[in-house]
Amino acid sequence: MLELRSITKRFGDVLANDNINIVVKPGTIHAIVGENGAGKSTAMRIAYGFYTADSGEILIDGRQVDIKSPHDAIALGIGMVHQHFMLVETMTVAENIVLGAEPGTGLVLDLKSAGAQIRQLSEEFKLAVNPNEPIEHLSVGQQQRVELLKALYRHARILILDEPTAVLTPLEVEEFFAILRRMREQGKTVIIITHKLSEVLAISDEVTVMRDGKVVGRVQTKETNAAELARLMVGREVLLRVEKPDAKVGKAELEVRNLSVTDRTGAKRVNGVSFEVRSGEIVGIAGVEGNGQTELIEALAGLVEPERISGEIDFEGKNLHAMSARVRRELGIAHIPEDRHRRGLLLDFSLAENSILGVHYRPPVAALAGGIFLDENAIQRRAAEIIQDFDVRPPNAALPARALSGGNQQKLIIGREYKLEPKLLLVSQPTRGVDIGAIEFIHRQLVRLRDAGCAILLVSAELEEVTSLSDRLLIFHDGLIAGERDPKVATLEEIGLLMTRGH
């Protein structure tokens, strides 16, 4: 159905695709896997016309084609759903779907006929989307269905999906996979770019593995396993399960009593929760995103105005209510935020400059207390230690943070927070958008910090991650703790029910 033959692509000195060959059979779900920077997204963006290859050729149905733009790809029946959705939130589903392919003639827009066609496609593939609903009213999972409909509306026969489950809940992933299987049954060809091996094994027919810009393996899914795919992706054996000794639990570091948090509109996002986190343990919070976890962590980190918070937050016996985020850091509270771009990094600042955020005002980074003068040598030493200890690539402290892959940005943030030697670590979505080798590394670092006596509160949308890392598990639903479970004995089904129903 689709073939990339001897494709090579350079970006300056970086060889993103090195003479790669990928063959996708018709009517199959084909996974393309690899670590961040392996070249998988570049290859598919060449197929979609976002990039033009330096050399090589593209064939569809065995016929060589010339794809210079997404417009050419769409005309040939190729659709692409990007990791970050391309939707206008204030417009309706129908308006988004027809954008750029508006029905009607001249100045007259025939949304009625478009709506009928969208409804027909929605029913045919069981997508359950209302054409008249504004995008801003839809969940992330529903927005992804709109992206699929956008491609189907343009008569796509080949669908390229870039990290399609990155922001979906476990239930949404199951529903999404059911949709993909229906598409395969109806003769569509689906290509998934991902690094989630459990999902590759669950949904795909064939797998192409990439590493360092090259294709290093092509396998039938039924003839492989997660360990073999991980080894091909990383080039070594990878530990797929978190290995950790039993926790040596100490005294309660964090005590939360009857805590409520409202958002800026006054709506209650956290509703009277109470729990504690002790030294030497990881307490995990599982829940469908949007059920108050973000507001909880930000309230604990000092990023929410005190007037929006009621109840008590005590850290080592001190009431944190009126304390700023800076004072909390001075007390020994570190924070790895869920949104590394908005909360964790200054993307245009260098790695060295990012490595001192939060400690820039105190020695040894500041030559004088208050941060009036900075010690450049101390900054470079600190950055070099973080880059080396946390395997940040490329290891160049002068690079801007935006030049790094998501996984390396995350390692820089984690290294910076570890440098604080925290007594309490608040960590949200530690491995979101991170490849399998870096996930293994980050998990090992969290366990190492726990074993050094740190109290860790972990929020993750990845159910397997939060259950395998946690010593105790709190399940959040609608701003409440729906239950506490021992992750060693609780089943994923039991946890999933508490996440979605609250009881």
Average pLDDT, stretch 408-436?
A: 90
pLDDT at 108: 60
Check whether 333 has a pLDDT greater than 80: yes
Check whether 354 has a pLDDT greater than 60: yes
Q: How far apart are CA 254 and CA 332, in angstroms?
A: 11
- CA-only gyration radius of the chain, Å: 24
Average pLDDT, stretch 3-22?
A: 90
Average pLDDT, stretch 70-92?
A: 85
Check whether 34 has a pLDDT greater than 80: yes
84: helix, strand or coil: coil
Check whether 217 has a pLDDT greater than 70: yes
Angstrom distances, CA of residue 362 to CA of 2, 206, 283, 366, 379: 57, 54, 31, 5, 12
DSSP assigned state of 246: P
Cβ atoms of 425 and 457 closer than 8 Å: yes
Angstrom distances, CA of residue 381 to CA of 156, 287, 364, 395, 445: 53, 39, 10, 13, 21
135: helix, strand or coil: helix
Q: Reply yes or no: is the peptide bond before residue 394 cis, omega within 30 of 0.
A: yes
Check whether 161 has a pLDDT greater than 60: yes
Check whether 371 has a pLDDT greater than 70: no
Domains, the chain: 2-234 (3.40.50.300), 252-332+422-501 (3.40.50.300)
Q: Looking at per-residue confidence, does 5 or 104 come out higher?
A: 5
pLDDT digits (tens, 9 = 90+) for 376-393: 999 999 999 999 999 888
Angstrom distances, CA of residue 142 to CA of 133, 428, 464: 11, 24, 23
Which of 69, 70, 72, 76 shows the shortest CA–CA distance to 2?
76
Angstrom distances, CA of residue 184 to CA of 60, 141, 178, 187, 495: 18, 20, 10, 5, 31
Q: How far apart are CA 445 and CA 422, in angstroms?
A: 13
Beta bridge partners of 219: 207
With a CB cutoff of 8 Å and minimum separation 6, the contacts of 37 are 212, 405
Q: How far apart are CA 133 and CA 417, in angstroms?
A: 42
Angstrom distances, CA of residue 35 to CA of 81, 130, 235, 392: 20, 36, 10, 14
Q: How confident is the model at residue 458 (pLDDT cuts 50, 70, 90)?
A: very high
Q: How far apart are CA 372 and CA 140, in angstroms?
A: 44
SS (H, E, C) 315-332: ECCEECCCCCHHHHHHHC
pLDDT at 427: 97
Highest mean pLDDT among 88-97, 236-245, 258-267: 258-267
Lowest mean pLDDT across 14-28, 149-163, 196-210: 149-163
Q: How far apart are CA 206 and CA 496, in angstroms?
A: 29
Average pLDDT of the chain is: 88
Q: How far apart are CA 302 and CA 417, in angstroms?
A: 16
Q: How far apart are CA 426 and CA 331, in angstroms?
A: 13
Check whether 106 has a pLDDT greater than 70: no
Highest mean pLDDT among 151-155, 194-198, 302-306: 302-306
pLDDT above 90 coverage of the chain, percent = 53
